[in-house]
Amino acid sequence: MGRKFFVGGNWKCNGTTDEVKKIVSMLNEAEVPSEDDVDVVVSPPFVFLPIVKSLLRPDFSIAAQNCWVRKGGAFTGEVSAEMLVNLGIPWVILGHSERRLLLNESKEFVGDKVAYALSQGLKVIACVGETLEQRESGSTMAVVAAQTKAIADRVLNWSNIVLAYEPVWAIGTGKVATPAQAQEVHSELRKWLHENAGAEVAATTRIVYGGSVNGANCKELAAKPDVDGLLVGGASLKPEFIDIIKSSTIKKSSV
């Protein structure tokens, strides 16, 4: 298949300058698989992007955690895609459930953001996922497909998109989707892409899992055929992030 394993570290709203320097030192000293085998992207808060960029090893990449939906201007408190490009930040996370739920970002708004960020040359980690209520009512695939459709309706070229499936009930709760649950949704998502965006998009787009990923569960998740990587929250601030990056080697041995 040739989908390169992807490990993202979402630092969320955490860190001081000293803490950030310590995390970067830990990453810089780590022995990890080569960038030929795994893409590693870390996502600090906006205010720390320049310092992380100046210190981080060159084989790791950087993502912002959000950007505005169109060109900058009179949008107090927002950060535009153009600013990220200007800073040399290649990636952005869009549609994270914390923003969908806490800030009421609709699937259409997220779709518009993804399309605009791509138009400015950014690569996008686009997040989709269902709440516990939605899972228990059996509507997981309908919800995730609708969120993906809002992107597919606005985007023709998927080569710079990583799709992150993050069940909302598993984010920061310590509850993890079982590897079988993750594989089931990833497989259905790939089928959806095949039917709605074409065979090539389905075969080449990386679908990564996020939601309480840690050093203990990463290998089992990484071994699943349709799990092309992991988007890590709290554990990305800790040394176990290195173990999670190393879980990419599972794919090589299972190919």
Q: Is 23 helix (H, G, I), strand (E, B) or coil?
A: helix
Distance CA 157, CA 153 (A): 11
Tell me which DSSP letter residue 76 carries.
Answer: T
Q: Pick from 245, 216, 226, 214: which is nearest to 181 by CA?
A: 226
Distance CA 139, CA 147 (A): 12
H or E element, residue 116: helix 107-119
Whether 96 is catalytic is yes
Q: Pick from 233, 168, 181, 184: which is nearest to 10 by CA?
A: 233
* Contact yes or no for 218/230 (Cβ under 8 A): yes
Other CB atoms within 10 Å distance of the CB of residue 28: 11
Whether 78 is catalytic is no
* Contact yes or no for 210/230 (Cβ under 8 A): yes
Tell me which DSSP letter residue 70 carries.
Answer: S
Catalytic residue among 105, 130, 166, 186: 166
Catalytic residue among 96, 105, 130, 186: 96
Which residues does the annotation mark as catalytic? 96, 166
